[in-house]
């Protein structure tokens, strides 16, 4: 989906549908299969399996303590899949454009810039994690808490250092808050179809499934 505005709206609608009921989540999952690259969106993100695994663990705990772990798992997993889709489908500058379009050139620019820098930081962190794995492999160090802890500390430290350097750089370039951006959005035919289709899972989530079939009859 090329239009960032439609993508955001669609993801919000589908997330609400998924959160509201299992039926809504299953319908949103079908939408995810039809309109996104599917499993490739997860493969692109090294964090995806971690978060999905974490959600599965929480669900197991809920289930073991007598709660509805299955419902939690289905709903949260679909919300995560939608989040990973939104993350992988974005283009650099999308959030800045979107934020300026929504909130204007002062606060909108600041929010958009912060979002863009955060996403860039996540990419850097992901790249550093990959490099660290290579370093572990080259040094024949076994992965474990004792070996990972210093590396994780180094990565966090480097992120702080990077943030400080970026802040200095912005200040040197004269940034004091707000800025000029002319948001541009491109839209293809499929964007509207995908966005419109996202309403169906919301209907499934709001109305009991049985009522939908009565209406259809």
Partner 1 sequence: MELEFVDIRVERDYFLIQGAGIFAPGIHLVSGRVGSGKTTLAMIAAGLKTPDSGRVKRHGIGSVMLSMQFPEQHLTGSTLESEIASWHLQPCPVLALAGLPGREKDDPFSLSRGELKRLHLACILSRRFDLLILDEPFSALDCREKMATADRIGSIRAGITLIFTHENQHLPRVDYLWEIRESALEFLGSVPDALVGWKNKPSVLADLHKRGVYPKNLSTADILEAACRTHD
Binding site for partner 1 (CB under 8 A): 128, 131-132, 134-139, 141, 147, 150-151, 153-154, 157-158, 161
Decide whether 150 or 177 has the Cβ nearer to partner 1.
Answer: 150
CB closer to partner 1 out of 142 and 176: 142
Structure tokens given for 5: 């505005």
- Determine how many CB atoms are found less than 10 A away from the CB of residue 10: 25
**Of the two residues 61 and 135, which places its CB atom closer to partner 1 in the complex?**
135
CB of 199 to partner 1, least distance (A): 39
Give CA separation, 41 vs 22, 37, 189, 191, 199, in Å: 22, 6, 21, 18, 22
The least CB distance from residue 169 to partner 1, in Å, is 17
Cα(48)–Cα(123) distance, integer angstroms? 13
For 59-90, give one letter per residue: b (16+ CB within 10 A) or e: beebeeeeeebeebbbbbbbbbbbbbbbbbbb
Of 138 and 215, which has the nearer Cβ to partner 1?
138
Q: At its nearest, how many Å lie between partner 1 and the CB of residue 135?
A: 5
Q: Which residue number, 106 or 131, has a Cβ lying nearer to partner 1?
A: 131
CB 178 within 8 A of CB 99: no
Measured from the CB of residue 172, what is the shortest distance to partner 1 in angstroms?
Answer: 20
Query: How far apart are CB 47 and partner 1 at their closest, in Å?
Result: 20
Measured from the CB atom, the residue of 50 and 157 that comes closer to partner 1 is 157
Per DSSP, helices labelled H in the chain are 4-20, 22-35, 39-43, 46-64, 69-89, 94-103, 109-138, 145-172, 189-197, 199-206, 209-216
- How far apart, in whole angstroms, are the C-alpha atoms of residue 60 and residue 94? 37
C-beta of 138: minimal distance to partner 1 in Å? 6
């Amino acid at each position: 989906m090329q239009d960032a505005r439609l993508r955001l709206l669609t993801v919000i609608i589908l997330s609400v549908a998924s959160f509201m009921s299992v039926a809504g989540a299953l319908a949103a999952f079908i939408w995810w299969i039809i309109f996104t690259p599917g499993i490739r969106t997860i493969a692109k993100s090294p964090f995806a399996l971690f978060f999905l695994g974490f959600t599965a663990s929480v669900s197991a705990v809920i289930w073991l303590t007598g709660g509805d772990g299955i419902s939690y798992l289905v709903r949260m997993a679909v919300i995560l899949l939608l989040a990973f889709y939104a993350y992988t489908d974005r283009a650099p500058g999308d959030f800045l454009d979107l934020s300026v379009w929504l909130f204007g050139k002062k606060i909108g620019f600041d929010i958009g810039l912060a979002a863009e820098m955060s996403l860039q930081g996540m990419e850097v962190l992901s790249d550093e994690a990959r490099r660290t794995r290579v370093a572990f492999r080259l040094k024949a160090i076994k992965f474990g808490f004792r070996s990972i802890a210093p590396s994780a500390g180094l990565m966090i430290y480097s992120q702080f250092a990077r943030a400080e350097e970026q802040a200095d750089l912005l200040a040197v370039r004269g940034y004091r808050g707000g800025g000029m951006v002319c948001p541009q959005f491109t839209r293809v035919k499929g964007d509207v179809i995908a966005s419109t289709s996202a309403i169906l899972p919301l209907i499934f989530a709001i109305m009991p499934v049985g009522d939908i079939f009565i209406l259809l009859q």
